[in-house]
Structure 1
Amino acid sequence: MITDKCCNSTHPLSFHLLPLQVKMYLIVPILVSLLLPKAYSLKCFECTPGESGACTDKETDCLYPTQCGSSRVVSYMGDTKLVDINAKSCAVPAECVSAAMNFGITRTTIANKCCNTDLCNSQSVPESTKAPPNGKKCFTCTGTDCTSTLSCLGDEDRCISTTVNTGGMKITMKGCASKSICVGDVSRALGPTMGVDMKCCEGNLCNNAQSIGLSLLLLVTSMVSVALFY
C-alpha cells in the first residue's frame, strides 16, 4: 500500500491503480539493485600454469557472459605422458568443450569445463580416459610416409591435415580430430597466431595420402609445442 500526502491529508493508493510509467519508475531501481551483481559479476578461481604445468589458484571477478572455467591439456606419445597442463580462468560458454587430436604417434586431449556459481571451479578437470575406436579411419604419417591409416577414437569424427611452422620449418601432420578442434574457439586458438594451418574433412580417409620428408622427432616436437602453447 502506498500513501499520498496532499493538502495536509493522507489517503491510501493501490499499486495497481498507478500509471505504468510510475510503476516502472518504482520497480526498475529495485530490480537493478537485485540483479546486476549476480548477472554481471561472478567470483572464480584463476590460475596460469608455469613451465611445470602447475598453477596456484587466486580469486578473480568474471563479467557476464563469462563463467568460471577449468581446462586440462594432456599430450601422449604412445602410453607415455608428455604434457599435462591445468589452467583456470573466466570462459565464455562456447569454450566449454572437450576435444582431441590424434596423429597416431601422439594424441592430445583438451577438456574444458564451465560452471556459473561463485568459486565453483575449485577442482581441476579429471584426466580423460582413453576412448575406444569409433569406426572412422584417416591417413596418418609413419616416419616420412603418410600413407598409413589410423583408427579414430571416441569423438574424433574428422580427418585432419595440419602444417605447423616451427623453427623456420614447415611440418605436416595427419590424423583424426574432434569437430571442436576444426571449428570454433579451439580452432582459432590453434590458428594463424601459432602458425598452424589446419584442414579438416568428414569422410573416411579424406585427408589424402602422400609421402613427406619429415622425421619422427620433428612430428613429436611440433605436437608438443601445440599442446604447450594452447
Structure 2
Amino acid sequence: MQIFVLILGIVLLPKACALKCYECIPDLSGSCAQTTKECPSNTQCASVRIASYAGGSKLVDIKGKSCAAAEECVQASINFGGARTLITSKCCTSDLCNSQDAPEGSISSPNGKKCFQCVGNDCTQTLNCNGNEDHCISSAMTAEGQKVTVKGCASKLICSSTQSPQITGITAAEISCCQGDLCNSAGMTTTSQPSSTTAGTTAVGRLLFVTTLISLVLFS
C-alpha cells in the first residue's frame, strides 16, 4: 500500500506543481489572443514588451506573455545610435500572475563600453553603450543590390536570441556579436553610396528586422 501511494505521488506531483501562466503570442501586427498554459519546470510566468525607437519616435510596441527561464527575466537593449530597441520583462512565480503588461523600458546610463556604429556608409564612428549592453553587434544584409551594414551595442540576451537555430535559414542576414571595446571592426562599406535619407530608412528597416527576429525567439 505504501509503495502504491509513493508511486501515485510521483505521478501526480509534477502536475500539481506545474505553474499555470497566461500566454499571448503576438502576430506580425502586434495583436494576440490570450490563453492559459502549464509551463515547464524551472520557468516563470512572464510579461514581455519590445519597443523600437528611431529619431525620437516609437516605431514598434509589441506586448506578449508566456513562460520564461530566469535568465530571460531581464531588461535588454540593442543600440544602433539613432535607433534602438528596448526589451523589458516582468516575471513572477504564482499561477496566472502575469496578467499585467510589462512596463515600457527606459534608456539606462552609459556603462563605459564603446562599439563602432555606422552613420550612412561610414562605420568608423564610435557609440557609447548603455546599461547592460556588454556586447558589440554587427548586422549586414543585401537589399536591392546593396549590402547594408549597421553596427552598435547590444545586451547578452539580444546576441543569444539572434543566434538561435529558430531563425537560421529565415534570412540571409549576417548577425554577429563580440565582447570588448570596439571589437565590431570599423570600416567603410564598399557598396555604392546611398543618400542620407536612404541610409536612415535602411537602418530603421534593419532595426525592425532584428526586432522581429528577437520577438520570434522570445515569444516562441
The TM-score with structure 2 as length reference comes to 0.80
Q: Distance in 1 between matches of 2:64 and 2:163?
A: 18
Q: Distance in 2 between matches of 1:75 and 1:110?
A: 9
Provide closer, same or farther for how the CA distance between residues 216 and 190 of structure 1 changes in structure 2, counting only shifts above 3 A.
farther
1:11 alignment partner in structure 2 = none
After TM superposition, what 4+ stretches of structure 1 lie above 6 angstroms from structure 2? none
Q: Distance in 1 between matches of 2:143 and 2:95?
A: 40
Question: Which of 119, 124, 129 matches 2:96?
Answer: 119
One-letter amino acid of the structure 2 residue matched with residue 100 of structure 1: S
Question: Which of 5, 12, 37 matches 2:15?
Answer: 37
- 1:61-210 matches, within 5 Å, as 61-164=38-141, 170-183=147-160, 185=161, 187-188=163-164, 191-195=167-171, 196-210=173-187
Provide closer, same or farther for how the CA distance between residues 103 and 33 of structure 1 changes in structure 2, counting only shifts above 3 A.
same
RMSD over aligned CA atoms reads 2.6
Q: Percent identity?
A: 44
Structure of higher RCO (CA pairs closer than 8 Å, 6+ residues apart): 2
One-letter amino acid of the structure 2 residue matched with residue 115 of structure 1: C
Provide closer, same or farther for how the CA distance between residues 136 and 203 of structure 1 changes in structure 2, counting only shifts above 3 A.
same
TM-superposed CA distance for 1:120, in Å, is: 1.2
Provide closer, same or farther for how the CA distance between residues 170 and 194 of structure 1 changes in structure 2, counting only shifts above 3 A.
farther
Task: List per-residue Cα deviations over 1:168-219 (Å, max 9, x = no partner).
Answer: 7643211111122223x45417852443432222221121111124622211
Query: In proportion to residue count, which structure has more strand?
Result: 1
The TM-score with structure 1 as length reference comes to 0.77
The answer to whether 1:221 aligns with 2:205 is yes
- 1:22-33 matches, within 5 Å, as 23=2, 25-29=3-7, 31-32=9-10
Give secondary structure in 1 for the equivalent of 2:10.
helix
Give secondary structure in 1 for the equivalent of 2:53.
strand
Give secondary structure in 1 for the equivalent of 2:59.
strand
One-letter amino acid of the structure 2 residue matched with residue 180 of structure 1: L
Asked which structure has the greater CA Rg, the reply is 1
2:218 alignment partner in structure 1 = none
Provide closer, same or farther for how the CA distance between residues 68 and 35 of structure 1 changes in structure 2, counting only shifts above 3 A.
same
- Is the CA contact (8 Å cut-off) linking 1:70 and 1:114 kept in structure 2? yes
Give secondary structure in 2 for the equivalent of 1:211.
coil
Q: Distance in 1 between matches of 2:169 and 2:47?
A: 23
The answer to whether 1:60 aligns with 2:37 is yes
One-letter amino acid of the structure 2 residue matched with residue 222 of structure 1: R
Q: Distance in 1 between matches of 2:37 and 2:158?
A: 28
Q: Distance in 1 between matches of 2:79 and 2:65?
A: 24
Unaligned runs of 5+ in 2: 216-220
One-letter amino acid of the structure 2 residue matched with residue 35 of structure 1: L
Give secondary structure in 1 for the equivalent of 2:6.
helix
Unaligned runs of 5+ in 1: 1-21
Q: Distance in 2 between matches of 1:38 and 1:186?
A: 35
